Structure 1
C-alpha cells in the first residue's frame, strides 16, 4: 500500500503560477517542447481591450539580469533549517526565531509556514554606497558547491562580493540581489501587512521602482524621511544627514491607518481648557469651530441646517457653506455635552433674517479621547538618530557599527498598532529589531514575535568584534538578544517571551536518492535502506517536516515517550512525529488514543512492510481524522 511522502522542499512557484494562470485562462494553455506551456501572445490578448499586434513600449524598470532575478525567486530549494538548541534560549516554549543563512533561501523555506502571517517587515539592506557587499546568488550545481557541502570550504567566504562604483553592473547587481528577496517577502505579508525599508540616496529611486512593480504602485504609502545624524563634514555639496524609509502595504485598503502618540508640546499648547462640572470634570479639552470657512456646501448638503442658541436665536453658516457635521451628529454631540456656545462681536454665522449673529458654536475635543485615538504620524522623523545605537550597543558590550537605534524600530512597531504581530527582519545585522520588540513588549504587555534572518558574514580579523571572539555577524546578533533580554527582564520583570529558537540553513536532511530515485540502479539498492543522511537528528527532521507541512516553526514543541519511543508533540495534537525504528501495530494503537491531526514517520522506521500497512489501517480505524505521512 502506498503512503504519501512529504515533498521536503520549498514550493515550486513556477508550477504554482502556471496552475493559477491555467485556471483563469484555460484557453491559453498549449503544448511546447517541454510539455504544457502558456501561450503568452494569447495571454497578452486576454489582458488587453485592444488588439495586441506585437511587442510595444511600456513603462517599467529594466536592468541586465532582471529575468534571472525572477527565475531565482521562483526556483524551489531542497535545503532545510536545522535547529541549534545550544544557541537558543527556552527553545521548546519561545515563539521567536533567529535563522542563520542566506535570506533568499530562508525566505523560500518560510513560504508555506508563514504565508500571509507577517504583519510587519523591517529591513535595513546594504545601501550600495560603493563600499557595500551584495549577495552573489548562484544556484548551479558545480564542484565548488560540492566542496562547500562536504565542509571542505566555507560557503560564506563566497557568498558576498564587492560592488564598487566602478563596476559595470553597479546598480544591476544590487537590483538583482534585492528583487527576488522582495518578491518572496510580499507573499509572507498578511493582507493588512506593511513593509518598511531603510535606504539611502544611492538606490532610493531604483528601489521604489522595483517595489512599485512587486507590491503595486497603488500600495505605495510614502517615503519617510528620517534624521540619521546632525552636522558632519562629509559629502561634496551637502553633508548627508537624512536617510529614507520606503513604506508599502500588501493591500492598502486592508491596512488600518497608522497611529502615533500625541505630541507633548502640542498638548501643552492646545489643551488648556478644563471641564468644571459633569461626568468629565477635571478633564482637559480644546475647542474647534463647528463652522469653518473652508467647508463648502458641495461636500455634504446634509450638513446645512439651523441651530438654536441659548437665547432662542437660530443660526446657520453663510450661503454656500456648511457645518462640520450633519444634524444627527450635532444632536448627539449636544446631548453628550460636547457643544459650547460663545458670544462674540465677530461671529461668522447668520440668523434667520440674514443678519450677523452674536453667537459662535464650538465642539469639545477631549484630550483623553485623542490620546486613545492617537494622531497620524508625520512623514519626517526628526528623532532616533543613528548615534543612539552606538550607546545602546556599548551598554550591552556588543561591538558592532552602523546599527539602527531600537527607538526607531519601536516607533514603527507602535504606529502599526498591533500588539500581537509577527515582525520579520531578513537583514537582521546586530538584531536591533529583536531587541526593540522585547523592549516594547515589556512596556505595553504586547505579544509581538520576531523572525530574524542573517547571513553569517565573517567579521574582519582586525575588527573589534573579531578580537572580542565574534567570528561572524550571527554570533553578534544572538549574543545581543541574550544580553538585551536579560537586562530588560532584570529591569522590568515583565511577563513576556525572552527566548528565541535558533535555526541554521543547511542542505536537505534527505539523501539525493529521495529526490531523484530514477538516477540510481540496482547496484545502489543499499542507498534506499534509509534515505535520511546519517548525521541528521530527530530535531533536524522535525524542523523540515514542519516546514514542508506548512506549520510555523514557533509552535510549542513537547517530547513524549509512547511505547518506549520518542515522540515530538507539536502544538498539542497538531502534529506528532516519531523517527525511531521498529514502528509497529502496538505503537499505532497507543498513539491513536491521542487522535493527532497529523503524524509522520521515517519510511525506514517501520518494523517491516506488513507493519507499515497495518499501522496505516489501524490509524484509519482508531483515529480517522489523523493524516499519516512518511519521509
Structure 2
C-alpha cells in the first residue's frame, strides 16, 4: 500500500522523467550525464561565457523556487462560497506562487487562457515575502494568520534592487503558469512601461521567442492625469497587454473567428443566428437620456438604455436584427454574415470611455459603492475582449487570473458567458493581504470590509465583488441560467503531518507521528488535498455512502474512492472490501480507480495487507494510505 505525503507535484522529477523518455542513454543510475546529453544534442549547445539574455541577482534562486514542491494544501470554505454544490468556478485565497505549485497536477495542460495584471512596480503596491525557507509558515505570518516576525515589504527604488526584486517575484510564477496552459493556450499580461522590456525578455526565455504573439497598446484613460510639477511631460494615457502562446503546435494564435468559433443555436428562414443583449447600464460618462426611447411600444426599464441611438435601433428592428424574448430585446447575429475573422483588439485604442480604467472604476463603484479602496481597475470590456479572442463559448474552457485584485476577470467571464451562452470557468487567486485602517492608503478598503462584516483583507473585497457582480449579470440578463457561483479555498499547511524527528527523543517522535493527519482537520479538508495530490479537478462531484459501518467517498464518479474512518479492525475488512467492490461496479468509472485509506485506522499490518489483497483480487490495484 503506497503512502501519500504532503507535497505538491515534484516539477524536477517530472522534468527528469521527460528527459529520460527522450534521451534514456543520458541517464546513469538515475543521474543526468551532461557529457552524453551534449553529444546527443549535437551543435545545439551554447557554452559561451557571454551570451544574450536577461540576468539579474537572484535569478538562479528564483528558478529553484519554482521547482521546489509546496508543502501546503487548499482547505475548502463552503460557508464563504456561492452555489458550492454546483459551481465550476474557484476563488482561492493564498500566495499565488504556492497556489500555482498546488494546481500543477490537477490543472497542468488544461487552462486555455491566463490573464494577469501584476503589480506595476510603482514603488509601493506589491508585497513579497523576505524569507523562503518555509514558504507556508512565512505566508501565514505575512498575512497575519499566525503570529510571527515576518515583515511586509514594499519594493522601493531606494532599496537598490527595484527591478531585481520585481523580477524575482514574477519569474517563478510565470514558469509555473506556463505548465498550466493547454497546447493552444494563451497568456495575457497587463503591464506599463516600467517593466515592459523585462516582461518581454522573461517571456521570450520561458515561452520561446517563436511563441510571442504581440504587444497590444490600449488606451487606459481619457481624462488627463494629474502629474503636478511634471505637467509638460508626455502623459501616460496608454498601457500594454503582452501576448504569448504556449506552443504553435496547434496553429498560431488567431484573433477571433466570428463564424467557426461562435455558437449559433437559433434559426429562422434557414439562417442560423445567435443573440446578444442590446441593452446596457445607463450609468457612466456616456449616458444620454436620448438613448431611452421606445421601439414597438417597448422602452428600457429604469437603470438601462439602448446600445445605440434611435435611428440605429430602428434600422435594426426594420431589417430583422431585433428580437424580443419574454419582453426583453436582443440583437441577432447571423452566421452567414459573421464568417470572416476580424481583429478583436481594435477597441483598445479607441477614445471610447468604456474601454478605460476609468470605466473599470465606475463599474466597481456601481457594484461596491464609491468607498471600496481600489484606485485603478481594469474594465470588464478589456477582459471580455481577451476572453472572446481565444476561448470557445461551449467548451468549458478555463480562464485563470492569479493576481485577481478586485475580481474583474471573474466578473468578465460571467458577463461574457451571459452574452454568448458560454460555459467558461474561472480560477482566481488573491493574496489575503491585511488592510490597516491606520494606513492612509488602506483605510478606505479596511473600512469597507468593516461595513460588510468581513476580515480586513484584499481577498474579501475580491469575493464581495464576485457575489455582487453575479447578481448584476443575472439582473442584466434574467434568461441567463449559467454558472454564477464560486468555490472558496484557502491556502494552509498540509493536512498530512510532515516527519519532524526529535533526535533527543525518537521514541516520543514515533508516538507523536502514529497519526499522520494534523489535528483539527476535517474529512472535507483531507478529501480536497487528495484531489490536489492525485491530480483531480477541485470541482469534481463527491458522493458518500455508508459501507460496513464506515463512510466511503466517491470522487469523480468513482475515479477515487476514499475511506477516512478512524478505525478498521479485522472483522470489518471483508464486508468493507466487498461493499467497496460492489459500489465500484455500480459506478463503472471510465478510468482506473484509486483507493485511499487512513493508515492509522488499521488495527495492524495484517488488517491492512488483507484489505489490499481482497481489493486487488477484484482488479482494484491502486490502493494507498495517508
Which bin holds the TM-score, normalised by the shorter protein? 0.7 to 0.9
Matched, 1:38 2:32: yes
Q: Deviations over 1:257-306 (max 9, x none)?
A: 221669xxxxxxxxxxxxxxx999xxxxxxxxxxxxxxxxxxxxxxxxxx
Shift in Å, 1:489: 2.5
User: Is the Cα contact below 8 Å between 1:93 and 1:557 reproduced in 2?
Assistant: no
User: Is the Cα contact below 8 Å between 1:82 and 1:503 reproduced in 2?
Assistant: yes
Shift in Å, 1:48: 4.3
Shift in Å, 1:525: 2.7
Cα 1:518/1:477, change in 2 over 3 Å: same
1:93 to 86, 94, 111: 86
Matched, 1:511 2:497: yes
Name 1:107's counterpart in structure 2: 100
Cα 1:453/1:116, change in 2 over 3 Å: same
Separation of aligned partners in 1, 2:503 and 2:84: 39
Matched, 1:594 2:583: yes
Q: Deviations over 1:485-528 (max 9, x none)?
A: 12322442321112111111111112222x87999723333123
- Determine helix, strand or coil for the equivalent of 1:512: coil
Separation of aligned partners in 2, 1:242 and 1:408: 13
Q: Deviations over 1:1-37 (max 9, x none)?
A: xx11123311222233234334444554468xxxx64
Name 2:605's counterpart in structure 1: 609
- Determine helix, strand or coil for the equivalent of 2:552: strand
Separation of aligned partners in 2, 1:564 and 1:617: 21
1:65 to 58, 67, 80: 58
Separation of aligned partners in 1, 2:9 and 2:44: 36
Name 1:464's counterpart in structure 2: 444
What does 1:254-265 correspond to in 2, within 5 Å? 254-255=250-251, 257-259=254-256
CA RMSD of aligned residues (A): 3.0
Separation of aligned partners in 1, 2:151 and 2:84: 29
Matched, 1:11 2:9: yes
Q: Deviations over 1:82-117 (max 9, x none)?
A: 111111122232111111110001000100100100
Cα 1:225/1:143, change in 2 over 3 Å: closer
Matched, 1:121 2:121: no
User: Is the Cα contact below 8 Å between 2:595 and 2:623 reproduced in 1?
Assistant: yes
- Determine helix, strand or coil for the equivalent of 2:204: helix
- Determine helix, strand or coil for the equivalent of 2:561: strand
User: Is the Cα contact below 8 Å between 2:113 and 2:391 reproduced in 1?
Assistant: no
Give the stretch that moved more between structures: 173-182 or 410-419. 410-419
Show structure 1 runs of 5+ residues with no match.
263-277, 281-365
User: Is the Cα contact below 8 Å between 1:134 and 1:174 reproduced in 2?
Assistant: no
Matched, 1:178 2:145: no
Separation of aligned partners in 1, 2:435 and 2:45: 57
Separation of aligned partners in 2, 1:448 and 1:22: 36
Name 1:369's counterpart in structure 2: 336
Matched, 1:252 2:228: no
1:135 to 110, 121, 128: 128
Matched, 1:416 2:411: no
- Determine helix, strand or coil for the equivalent of 1:568: strand
Name 2:348's counterpart in structure 1: 381
- Determine helix, strand or coil for the equivalent of 1:166: helix
What does 1:224-303 correspond to in 2, within 5 Å? 224-235=216-227, 236=230, 237-255=233-251, 257-259=254-256
Separation of aligned partners in 2, 1:498 and 1:147: 30
- Greater Rg, structure 1 or structure 2? 1
Cα 1:143/1:80, change in 2 over 3 Å: closer
Name 1:428's counterpart in structure 2: 404
Separation of aligned partners in 2, 1:143 and 1:495: 39
- Determine helix, strand or coil for the equivalent of 2:562: strand
Q: TM-score, normalised by structure 1?
A: 0.76
- Determine helix, strand or coil for the equivalent of 1:116: coil
Matched, 1:396 2:367: yes
User: Is the Cα contact below 8 Å between 1:234 and 1:240 reproduced in 2?
Assistant: no
Name 1:363's counterpart in structure 2: none
Cα 1:144/1:535, change in 2 over 3 Å: closer
- Determine helix, strand or coil for the equivalent of 2:114: strand
1:628 to 611, 614, 623: 623
2:193 to 195, 201, 210: 201
- Determine helix, strand or coil for the equivalent of 1:381: helix
User: Is the Cα contact below 8 Å between 1:260 and 1:414 reproduced in 2?
Assistant: no
User: Is the Cα contact below 8 Å between 1:225 and 1:380 reproduced in 2?
Assistant: no
Name 2:526's counterpart in structure 1: 541
Show structure 2 runs of 5+ residues with no match.
260-268, 272-332
Shift in Å, 1:484: 1.4
Count of equivalent residues: 521
Q: TM-score, normalised by structure 2?
A: 0.77
Cα 1:147/1:117, change in 2 over 3 Å: closer
Shift in Å, 1:589: 1.6
Q: Deviations over 1:562-597 (max 9, x none)?
A: 333333222211122221223332222212112162
User: Is the Cα contact below 8 Å between 2:144 and 2:434 reproduced in 1?
Assistant: no
What does 1:203-218 correspond to in 2, within 5 Å? 203-218=195-210
Separation of aligned partners in 1, 2:530 and 2:361: 41
User: Is the Cα contact below 8 Å between 2:143 and 2:433 reproduced in 1?
Assistant: no
Separation of aligned partners in 1, 2:435 and 2:138: 22
- Determine helix, strand or coil for the equivalent of 1:245: strand
Shift in Å, 1:375: 1.4
- Determine helix, strand or coil for the equivalent of 2:166: helix
What does 1:307-318 correspond to in 2, within 5 Å? none
2:538 to 548, 553, 556: 553
Shift in Å, 1:391: 1.7
Separation of aligned partners in 2, 1:91 and 1:403: 28
